[in-house]
Amino acid sequence: MSAVKALPRWADLFLLPVVCLGVALLAAGAVVALVGQHPVEVISVLVHGAFGTARGLSYTLYYATTFVFTGLAVAVAFHGGLFNIGGEGQAVLGGLGSGLAALWFSAFLPAWVMLPLMAIAGALFGMAWAVVPGFLQAYRGSHVVITTIMFNFIASTLLVYVLVNHLRPSGAMSVESLPFAESAKLPGMHEAFAWLGIEWPSSPLNVSVLIAALACVGVYLFLWRSRAGYRLRAVGSSPGAAHYAGIRPQRQILVAMGVSGALAGLVGMNEIAGVHGKLLLEFVSGAGFTGIAVALMGRNHPVGIVLSSILFGALFQGGAEVAFEVKGFSRDMVVMLQGFIVLFSGAMVYAIAPLVARALSGVTGWMPRGNVQAGAGGSHG
Amino acid sequence: MMGTAASAAIAVRMTGISKRFGAVAANADVSLTVPAGTVHGLVGENGAGKSTLMSVLYGFYQADSGAIEVFGVPATIRNADDAIALGIGMVHQHFMLVDTLTALENVMLGAEPHWLLSQSDAQVRAKLETLMASTGLHVELDTLVCDLPVGDRQRLEILKTLYRGARILILDEPTAVLTPQETEQLFGVLRLLREQGTTILLITHKLKEVMRLCDQVTVMRGGRVVEELPIANASIEGLAEAMVGRKVQMGRLEEACRSVGDYLLQAKHVTVRDAMNVLRLDDVNLSLRGGEIVGVAGVSGNGQSELLDVLSGMLAPTEGSLTMGDTSFGAGAWMDPHAARTLGVAHVPEDRHARAMVMDFEAWESAVLGYDGLPQYASGGWMNHTAMKQATATMMERFDVRPQNPALRSRSFSGGNQQKLVLARELGQAPKVLLVGQPTRGVDIGAIEFIYSQLRAMRDAGCAVLVVSSELDEILALSNRVVVMNQGRIAGELPIEECTEASLGLLMVGGGA
């Protein structure tokens, strides 16, 4: 009768993800053992590779930065009741926007104008790419899941077209633009640390990690402190109640998709402005989809998203390390581990939550609330 | 001697049933004895444990301790199949029928006697026709369930259980969706079934029905049996007191001759067609004056919900107009809920779960729903959490919402407390017009009393109150004037003095006044 038993908040936010992660690691460990490797060794190499050195940690955080952007994008849409699968395409367009701004203006604008301009252009491009499916959903009823998937394909093709036919210097073999001028280069964290007098190894980690942190705070304030966020969440959790309250759902869909797309569009700041310094293909490489897993695992909350982004960043970085260090262990195994984590924290969470609830009530005598209501709720006349 | 004869006459004997959900004892040492061939009433407030007890009997839950005997034989009931095998059938309050199948197919579903559908069809039909003839439960077997009237659906549910050999019938709030006439018919059938030896367990909160139908009644409160007595020794007042644990005043209070004020809302020729072009409201004219409570009676689904939606701005009519003070709206440019609120229309919607609150929100977030833009709550697009929580705490205090904690999730409050919070929100801004749908659905008796007094206070303060309810008793207890709806039309309008269950019931089914 009762669906999923309600867990207390702390358990829902912290215990459950940790249990899911543990189960995923066990399952992955079993597979590692099956192929004749030593699970403990693999894990320790992975953890050391991701967190053990300053350089490894930098790489982990660099990957995490991108995931924070795409994870937040998914979360904002989710709070508005929408499943934005289009983070990938929105990030591509965001990168294109930042890149175009850099190519056009970086020659004569100083960095302090150029960099904000690139961020704004990226956010606007990402927003525009998300608002179109949002509009189709709000006013034409085309399902946003379908349209955003389609928009991913269109976005990647568009990027190829623009790069191949317009931005590639004539005669160049590789499909990429000319490098940006120095003013369009976001400083690396090692540079920032050096400026503060701290020595830090060189890595792709750049100042956009701070932009990501700001974005987390911004999303929190937007969702839980502003009226716009309140209305967005009302539409997302109960369209009927929102209608009753006089909130127009169509507008909220546009807002949710717009904010979501803008966040995804900021990926370009990390990859294009922070690392490559030129526009190229494949700079998103699946981060938009990883963002879905990140948001799921992070329970669509900025704090959770930061933690799960770091986890996925660590998997990327540590995984590369494992593939390099452990003989006979390929990167595919790491992808498998990610798959397990997504499976257990996304889909299997509904299977695990009741077990956790039962275990908890056994340990602490705490009672699952949902069940009591279903049981003692009486007949409603 | 005692042994076989006496125990054979007992259909259900539950002894010492306890069922805990964590720290809450939903049933604590409950015993229930139901002689065969009797109607046994089980009454109690929401959460009193009567549904849990019946769920234990029907195999939804396993009791933590205690024993069940069915017809004198100790029974272990692990699921509904066990219950059915023992001859126990249950008719749920919300019908468990497949709308897109015919009545016959619904009976057959899951109990097809033959692998060929045509064979099953014939066998089931033959058996059902004998059953219908002997019990007087008549249903058109080849009609799709979605085309059956509610009363027929209920008869079909009963038939379904009887077809599966039920000798003990559990009915959960069977009259909630019926007109007085349909209720009368149902009771006729139940009396006949009793004569034929069927044992009936009736879960209800309508004490009047208990008095009319039951042979014996058990009152539960807080998971325990507080009273069990033959109906001859029972009275409505006594039962109500046993249910709540204190004296309750439910009926109509003195209606002093009071002056009714100006017209605050006038709706003219309101017609609504839905997306399928079906007529939902048909040329409805309704005026509300300050200082009166107008009750809207009718069988559910006859346009009452659409009327509330139109008047609250949630639904724009196809035709018609609305005047409130100096402001008028035509069908082409109807107000939206926000505009309605601005004009002083407060709305307590029928569907608390889907509309009145966002169940995932904390109580204070639900307590400002629709009013989040008020200057005391928000400034420059930011929400003033402190002010909102403060205001919610005040509302909870004034309306005795328990637990008094604005930070709890809306869904974790009981129905009555949710309703009190919604009322507190809607009454808080001194509305001119108050629209209330099903004010006490799923609400405990104790809270009902409070809600009634609040609605009366609004009336006395000069507010125009419109109450839509499927409970005639409620309409009769609150209204100054009653409007009856049937098939989207106003079938009649009576001053309260002329209202009786019979006169309203006749209008509800479309008969002349």
Instruction: Encode pLDDT of A5-29 as tens digits.
Output: 467 777 777 788 888 888 888 888 8
Structure tokens at B164: 């599966």
pLDDT band at B393 (very low <50, low <70, confident <90, very high): very high
Interface check for A245 against chain B (CB to CB < 8 A): the answer is yes
Nearest to B383 among A230, A245, A369 (CB): A230
Contacts of B382 in chain A (CB under 8 A): 225-227
Beta carbons of B393 and B406 less than 8 angstroms apart = yes
Contacts of B49 in chain A (CB under 8 A): 376, 378
Q: What is the pLDDT of residue A102?
A: 93
CB–CB contact A375 B372 (8 Å):
no
Nearest alpha carbon to residue A308 among A75, A37, A9, A3: A75
Q: Three-state SS for B189?
A: helix
Task: For residues B51 and B96, give the distance between their C-alpha atoms in angstroms, rounded to a whole number.
Answer: 17
Interface check for A22 against chain B (CB to CB < 8 A): the answer is no
Task: For residues A47 and B28, give the distance between their C-alpha atoms in angstroms, rounded to a whole number.
Answer: 53
Interface check for A113 against chain B (CB to CB < 8 A): the answer is no
The residue behind tokens 């126990």 is: B88
Interface check for B373 against chain A (CB to CB < 8 A): the answer is yes
Interface check for A358 against chain B (CB to CB < 8 A): the answer is no
Greater pLDDT, A79 or B138: A79
pLDDT band at A267 (very low <50, low <70, confident <90, very high): very high
Task: For residues B114 and B96, give the distance between their C-alpha atoms in angstroms, rounded to a whole number.
Answer: 23
Q: What is the pLDDT of residue A363?
A: 67
List of residues 6+ apart from B125 with CB closer than 8 A: B104, B141
* Type of residue found at A14: F
Q: How confident is the model over A141-188, as pLDDT tens digits?
A: 999 999 999 999 999 999 999 999 998 888 888 888 988 888 889 999
Task: For residues A79 and A72, give the distance between their C-alpha atoms in angstroms, rounded to a whole number.
Answer: 11
Interface check for B370 against chain A (CB to CB < 8 A): the answer is yes
**Interaxial angle between packed helices A208-225 and A249-265, expressed in degrees from 0 to 180 and rounded to the nearest 10:** 170
Whether residue B5 has pLDDT greater than 60: no
Q: What is the set of domains in chain A, with CATH numbers?
A: 55-321 (1.10.3470)
Q: What is the pLDDT of residue A3?
A: 36
Whether residue B512 has pLDDT greater than 70: no
Interface check for A4 against chain B (CB to CB < 8 A): the answer is no
Q: What is the pLDDT of residue A254?
A: 96
pLDDT band at B118 (very low <50, low <70, confident <90, very high): confident
Q: What is the set of domains in chain B, with CATH numbers?
A: 2-244 (3.40.50.300), 250-344+431-513 (3.40.50.300), 362-430 (no CATH)
Structure tokens at B248: 């309750």
Q: What is the pLDDT of residue B6?
A: 44
Task: For residues A260 and B340, give the distance between their C-alpha atoms in angstroms, rounded to a whole number.
Answer: 32
Q: What is the ipTM of this complex?
A: 0.81
Structure tokens at A378: 């009486």
Q: What is the pLDDT of residue B149?
A: 80
pLDDT band at A370 (very low <50, low <70, confident <90, very high): very low
Q: How confident is the model over B308-345, as pLDDT tens digits?
A: 999 999 999 999 999 998 899 998 899 999 999 999 99
Interface check for B361 against chain A (CB to CB < 8 A): the answer is yes
Backbone angles phi, psi at B300, to 5 degrees: -50, 140
CB–CB contact B415 A226 (8 Å):
no
Task: For residues B248 and B238, give the distance between their C-alpha atoms in angstroms, rounded to a whole number.
Answer: 10
From A319-323, B73-77, B177-181, B204-208, the region with the lowest mean pLDDT:
B177-181
* Type of residue found at A184: A
Whether residue A258 has pLDDT greater than 60: yes
Alpha-carbon Rg for chain A in angstroms: 22
Nearest alpha carbon to residue B210 among B193, B187, B188: B187
Task: Please tell me which residue of chain A has the smallest CA distance to B338.
Answer: A246
DSSP element (H, E) containing A255 = helix A249-265
pLDDT band at A4 (very low <50, low <70, confident <90, very high): very low
pLDDT band at A1 (very low <50, low <70, confident <90, very high): very low
Q: What is the pLDDT of residue B252?
A: 54
Nearest alpha carbon to residue B377 among A239, A217, A231: A231
Q: How confident is the model over A193-217, as pLDDT tens digits?
A: 998 888 889 899 999 999 999 999 9
Interface check for B45 against chain A (CB to CB < 8 A): the answer is yes
**Interaxial angle between packed helices A287-297 and A302-325, expressed in degrees from 0 to 180 and rounded to the nearest 10:** 120
From A234-243, A275-284, B68-77, B172-181, the region with the lowest mean pLDDT:
B172-181
CA distance, residue B176 to nearest chain A CA (Å): 6
Q: How confident is the model over B219-275, as pLDDT tens digits?
A: 998 889 999 999 999 888 888 888 877 776 555 554 544 667 889 999 999 999 988
Task: For residues B57 and B70, give the distance between their C-alpha atoms in angstroms, rounded to a whole number.
Answer: 10
Interface check for A366 against chain B (CB to CB < 8 A): the answer is yes
Q: What is the pLDDT of residue B340?
A: 94
What average pLDDT does the segment A122-144 reach?
Answer: 95
Q: What is the pLDDT of residue B508?
A: 84
CB–CB contact B49 A378 (8 Å):
yes
CA distance, residue A218 to nearest chain B CA (Å): 13
Alpha-carbon Rg for chain B in angstroms: 25
Task: For residues B437 and B312, give the distance between their C-alpha atoms in angstroms, rounded to a whole number.
Answer: 11
Q: In a mutagenesis test of the A interface, which of B94, B204, B355 is the best target, namely the one with the most A β-carbons within 10 Å? A: B355
CB–CB contact A367 B412 (8 Å):
no
Whether residue B286 has pLDDT greater than 60: yes
Q: What is the pLDDT of residue A376?
A: 33
Bond into B403 cis (ω within 30): yes
Interface check for B55 against chain A (CB to CB < 8 A): the answer is yes
List of residues 6+ apart from A10 with CB closer than 8 A: none
Q: What is the pLDDT of residue B3?
A: 40
Task: For residues B295 and B181, give the distance between their C-alpha atoms in angstroms, rounded to a whole number.
Answer: 20
Residue-wise burial string across A320-334, b where 16 or more C-beta atoms lie within 10 A, e elsewhere: bbbbeebeebeeebb
Please report the residues numbered 443 through 502 in chain B whose beta carbons come closer than 8 angstroms to any beta carbon of chain A: none
Q: What is the pLDDT of residue A365?
A: 55
Greater pLDDT, B360 or B3: B360
Task: Please tell me which residue of chain A has the smallest CA distance to B55.
Answer: A375
Contacts of B202 in chain A (CB under 8 A): none
Whether residue A380 has pLDDT greater than 50: no
